[in-house]
């Protein structure tokens, strides 16, 4: 038995042993929430129900979170309305919301920035494992007032509750789970322990995830790419290259980590501290780190072993709040997170490029409420990212980015309507840390207005209008070198201006009755949208370094891309509905529907923007009676033929999934025994939002079996 598998069983065994002396109790913490009644703390500083927000939101928690578990945050959320992923193999996947990702999407951990390098490149993983998180909140559309201009696409907030804000219900409680999956021969386990002694609350958690190479149906490379390779070989009088089928080499993954938190809970508030560590070692799929373009037979630069990434983050979080009124304020909350992040790209036994990010993110919010109905908060947010890369593939110079912001959000209810409005001013300072020493300062003004109208007890109509500014980041300004993860030579532009957008959403929700759900229409117009555009040139490595030439027909080297600004427009729609066919006694039967659509175009020349999510439609059924829950779902993803220059289309596909969950209560122990099947039709599925769509399809048929214990 391997060390990782021993660790998995030791974690579960320790949790079982600790449960023996506990008194009988019933744990309601993981019961399913009522539809559209989840409390969202990410969209506003004071927390609101989903149905009471002007912005469209999603919450993943409880049984659904447990059943949709995935190795990466992107794949965990990929089935939510309007959310796709960058899928750079099983080890690295970041969410994409309404066609926007990278530095236009904030990934938070307990309300603070992730402080990693995941926004820099799609092969860089988010520095957390989703196994032990308690919930995920997704705010679709601009959330720049609370989190800055780089939240213009939305916010994903992962909540772990490592710092307690209130005393636990019992002196000791725990959660442990173990699961195994067939598509990647995975074994995953984790344990969470919480308790209290007097006014002191504590938290301990740990996890291990170990997987092999991922199994796929058919060939790793797309039919288009295989045909191009065969034609190229025939032109040179050579045999066609051997094709990889049945699995994607170099996609094994090992994650492990843990955390310890300690809080003092007083009568007027709390203060707490948590220390956490996350380690990840994962392979980059074959074809990702290769200097070849689409249609050219590619040979790895790093030999048969391929590139593996060794990631490490150590993080310290401080959080506190005053929950009683003082002076003109009804309460206050502060958070501060600081982290040291490093990942090394391993080329066999040698270390290639090494990325470091050292930084912090902090915020202070002062809440108020008045008898006249005006309630809100104003606050400060500040952060620093000290980023550097060293090695052959360091395409971005070392830089330090500092941000400071002041924001104000207010809410008032007049009759059956609630108005939500706010403003934020942010200053971003970037300083290059190389010999050039150049830098720049950018001020950004963000404004928003929202209105929620209650149409009786069942319906609400929400609308939001936001004007957002985002300053270009260091990569967009100063990149100059080969970025092999995206198979491009990237050139930044230090003269880029601030990117401005005006976004409008309207959402109709029904929260009670036979049918519940929401329909959202949205549009987002950008002035000076920053993106990479092919120049028609090629870059090739020679004895004197990298050289750029203008022969676009030359197949050698890699394509040159330059960051440019153009006007752009995104439009789309999202819909989700649950038909409650039966709900009575201890039984429930629901039909589930969902769909989303987004279009992104360059308004300057009318061209489509790259890697835009195609239309998706899903339908499913969920049945629950007593301790047993069953469900099935079919998702159809349309062909994407609206492609940017130089981008290849992707074919349509469908994914079938099903699950069963049984809850067994035995004294103080609550067992959830579950099985979930994904891609049961074993269909070839290539994600259009992925840079690797032509070399790495989604996993094939996968059956996950596991058990979760709470007490």
Percent of the chain at pLDDT exceeding 90: 69
Work out the mean pLDDT of the chain and round it to a whole number. Answer: 88
564: confidence class by pLDDT, cuts 50, 70, 90: very high
Mean pLDDT confidence for 425-431: 96
Residues constituting the chain: 711
CB 358 within 8 A of CB 392: no
Mean pLDDT confidence for 650-674: 95
With a cut of 50, say whether residue 34 has pLDDT above it: no
- Mean pLDDT: which of 299-303, 401-405, 512-516, 529-533 is highest? 401-405
With a cut of 80, say whether residue 539 has pLDDT above it: yes
Tokens 């220390």 -> residue: 275
Q: According to the model, what pLDDT value does residue 54 have?
A: 85
CA distance 169 to 434: 53
With a cut of 90, say whether residue 360 has pLDDT above it: yes
Please tell me which residue, 159 or 350, carries the higher pLDDT value.
Answer: 159
Q: According to the model, what pLDDT value does residue 556 have?
A: 74
**Alpha-carbon distances, residue 22 vs 197, 709, 710 (angstroms):** 16, 14, 12
Q: DSSP characters for 121-135?
A: -TTSPPS--GGG--E
With a cut of 70, say whether residue 18 has pLDDT above it: no
> For 591-612, how does the pLDDT look when each residue is reduced to its tens digit (9 = 90+)?
999 999 999 999 988 899 999 9
Q: According to the model, what pLDDT value does residue 23 have?
A: 34
CA distance 78 to 550: 39
With a cut of 70, say whether residue 4 has pLDDT above it: no
Please tell me which residue, 562 or 553, carries the higher pLDDT value.
Answer: 562
Please tell me which residue, 31 or 440, carries the higher pLDDT value.
Answer: 440
What tokens does 457 get? 């007890």
183: confidence class by pLDDT, cuts 50, 70, 90: very high
The model scores a pTM over 0.75? yes
551: confidence class by pLDDT, cuts 50, 70, 90: low
Please calculate the CA angle 286-291-297 and round it to the nearest 5 degrees.
Answer: 70
Mean pLDDT confidence for 687-707: 95
R_g over Cα of the chain: 25
Mean pLDDT confidence for 664-686: 95
Q: According to the model, what pLDDT value does residue 266 have?
A: 95
103: confidence class by pLDDT, cuts 50, 70, 90: very high
Q: What are phi and psi of 645, to 5 degrees?
A: -55, 130
479: confidence class by pLDDT, cuts 50, 70, 90: very high
Report, at the CATH architecture level, how domain 3-710 is classified.
Beta Barrel (2.40)
CA distance 132 to 262: 18
Mean pLDDT confidence for 292-314: 61
HSE-CB for 409 with a 13 A CA cutoff: 20
With a cut of 90, say whether residue 276 has pLDDT above it: yes
CA 122 to chain centroid: 11
Contacts for 338 with CB less than 8 Å, ≥ 6 apart: 115, 315, 316, 359, 360
With a cut of 80, say whether residue 37 has pLDDT above it: no
Q: According to the model, what pLDDT value does residue 594 have?
A: 96
What tokens does 592 get? 């589930």
Please tell me which residue, 17 or 441, carries the higher pLDDT value.
Answer: 441
With a cut of 70, say whether residue 294 has pLDDT above it: no
> For 608-638, how does the pLDDT look when each residue is reduced to its tens digit (9 = 90+)?
999 999 999 999 999 999 999 999 999 999 9
288: confidence class by pLDDT, cuts 50, 70, 90: low
CA distance 645 to 664: 55
DSSP three-state, residue 144: helix
Please tell me which residue, 55 or 552, carries the higher pLDDT value.
Answer: 55
What tokens does 24 get? 């009988």
With a cut of 90, say whether residue 544 has pLDDT above it: no
Mean pLDDT confidence for 136-161: 90
Least confidently predicted of 4-8, 68-72, 335-339, 700-704: 4-8
CB 38 within 8 A of CB 50: yes
Q: According to the model, what pLDDT value does residue 29 have?
A: 36
With a cut of 50, say whether residue 2 has pLDDT above it: no
With a cut of 70, say whether residue 380 has pLDDT above it: yes
Q: According to the model, what pLDDT value does residue 50 have?
A: 82
Mean pLDDT confidence for 323-338: 94
CB 155 within 8 A of CB 139: yes
Mean pLDDT confidence for 315-328: 95
Q: According to the model, what pLDDT value does residue 434 have?
A: 85
> For 106-135, how does the pLDDT look when each residue is reduced to its tens digit (9 = 90+)?
999 999 999 999 998 889 999 999 999 999
Q: According to the model, what pLDDT value does residue 554 have?
A: 63
CA distance 595 to 81: 7
CA distance 532 to 562: 5
Q: According to the model, what pLDDT value does residue 553 have?
A: 59
Q: According to the model, what pLDDT value does residue 442 have?
A: 95
Q: According to the model, what pLDDT value does residue 287 have?
A: 61
With a cut of 70, say whether residue 25 has pLDDT above it: no
| DSSP 8-class letter at 329 | B
């Amino acid at each position: 038995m391997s060390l990782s598998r021993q660790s998995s069983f030791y974690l579960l065994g320790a949790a079982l042993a600790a449960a023996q002396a506990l008194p009988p109790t019933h744990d309601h913490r993981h019961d399913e929430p009522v539809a559209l009644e989840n409390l969202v703390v990410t969209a506003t500083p004071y927390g609101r129900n989903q149905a009471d927000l002007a912005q469209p939101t999603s919450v993943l928690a409880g049984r659904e979170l447990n059943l949709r578990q995935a190795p990466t945050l992107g794949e965990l959320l990929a089935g939510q309305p309007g959310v796709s992923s960058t899928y750079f193999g099983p080890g690295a996947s970041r969410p994409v919301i309404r066609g926007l990702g990278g530095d236009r999407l904030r990934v938070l951990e307990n309300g603070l920035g992730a402080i990693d390098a995941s926004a820099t490149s799609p092969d860089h993983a988010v520095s957390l494992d989703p196994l032990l998180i308690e919930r995920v909140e997704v705010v679709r559309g601009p959330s720049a007032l609370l989190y800055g201009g780089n939240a213009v696409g939305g916010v994903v907030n992962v909540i772990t509750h490592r710092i307690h804000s209130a005393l636990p219900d019992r002196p000791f409680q725990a959660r442990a789970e173990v699961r195994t999956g067939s598509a990647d021969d995975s074994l995953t386990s984790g344990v969470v322990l919480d308790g209290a002694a007097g006014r002191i609350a504590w938290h301990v958690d740990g996890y291990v995830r170990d997987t092999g190479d991922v199994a796929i149906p058919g060939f790793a490379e797309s039919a288009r790419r295989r045909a191009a390779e065969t034609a190229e070989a025939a032109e040179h009088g050579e045999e066609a290259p051997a094709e990889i089928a049945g699995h994607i080499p170099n996609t094994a993954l090992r994650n492990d980590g843990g955390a310890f938190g300690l809080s003092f809970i007083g009568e007027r508030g709390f203060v707490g501290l948590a220390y956490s560590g996350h380690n990840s070692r994962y392979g980059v799929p074959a074809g990702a780190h290769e200097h070849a373009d689409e249609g050219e037979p590619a040979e790895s630069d790093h030999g048969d072993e391929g590139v593996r990434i060794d990631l490490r983050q150590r993080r310290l979080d401080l959080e506190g709040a005053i929950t009683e009124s003082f002076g003109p304020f009804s309460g206050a909350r502060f958070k501060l997170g600081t982290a040291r992040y490093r990942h090394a790209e391993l080329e066999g036994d040698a270390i290639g490029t090494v990325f470091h990010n050292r930084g912090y993110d902090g915020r202070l919010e002062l809440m108020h409420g008045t008898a006249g109905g005006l309630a809100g908060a104003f606050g400060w947010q500040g952060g620093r990212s000290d980023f550097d890369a060293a090695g052959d593939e360091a395409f971005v110079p070392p830089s330090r980015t500092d941000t400071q912001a002041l924001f104000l959000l207010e809410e008032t209810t007049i009759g059956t309507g609630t108005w939500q409005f706010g403003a934020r001013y942010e200053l971003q300072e970037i300083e290059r840390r190389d010999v050039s020493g150049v830098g720049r300062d950018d001020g950004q003004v963000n404004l928003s207005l929202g209105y929620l109208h209650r149409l009786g007890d069942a319906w609400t109509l929400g609308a939001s209008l936001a004007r957002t500014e985002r300053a270009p980041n260091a990569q967009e300004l100063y990149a100059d070198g080969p970025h092999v993860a995206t198979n491009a030579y990237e050139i930044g532009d230090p003269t880029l201006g601030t990117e401005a957008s005006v976004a409008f959403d309207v959402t109709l929700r029904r929260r009670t009755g036979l049918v519940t759900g929401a329909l959202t229409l949205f549009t987002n117009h950008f002035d000076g949208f920053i993106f990479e555009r092919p120049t028609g040139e090629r870059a090739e490595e020679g004895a004197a370094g990298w050289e750029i030439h203008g022969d676009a027909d030359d197949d050698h080297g890699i394509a040159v891309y330059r960051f440019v600004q153009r006007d752009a427009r995104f439009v789309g729609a999202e819909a989700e509905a649950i038909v409650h066919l039966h709900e009575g006694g201890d039984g429930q039967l629901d039909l589930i529907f969902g769909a989303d659509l987004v279009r992104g175009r360059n308004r300057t020349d009318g061209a489509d923007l790259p890697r835009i999510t195609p239309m998706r439609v899903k339908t499913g059924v969920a049945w629950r009676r007593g301790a047993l829950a069953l469900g099935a779902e079919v998702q159809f993803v349309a062909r994407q033929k609206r492609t940017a220059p130089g981008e290849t289309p992707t074919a349509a596909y469908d994914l079938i999934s099903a699950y069963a969950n049984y809850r067994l209560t035995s004294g103080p122990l609550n067992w959830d025994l579950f099985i979930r099947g994904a891609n049961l039709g074993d269909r070839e599925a290539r994600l259009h939002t992925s840079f690797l769509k032509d070399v790495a399809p989604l996993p094939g048929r996968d059956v996950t079996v596991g058990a979760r214990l709470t007490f």
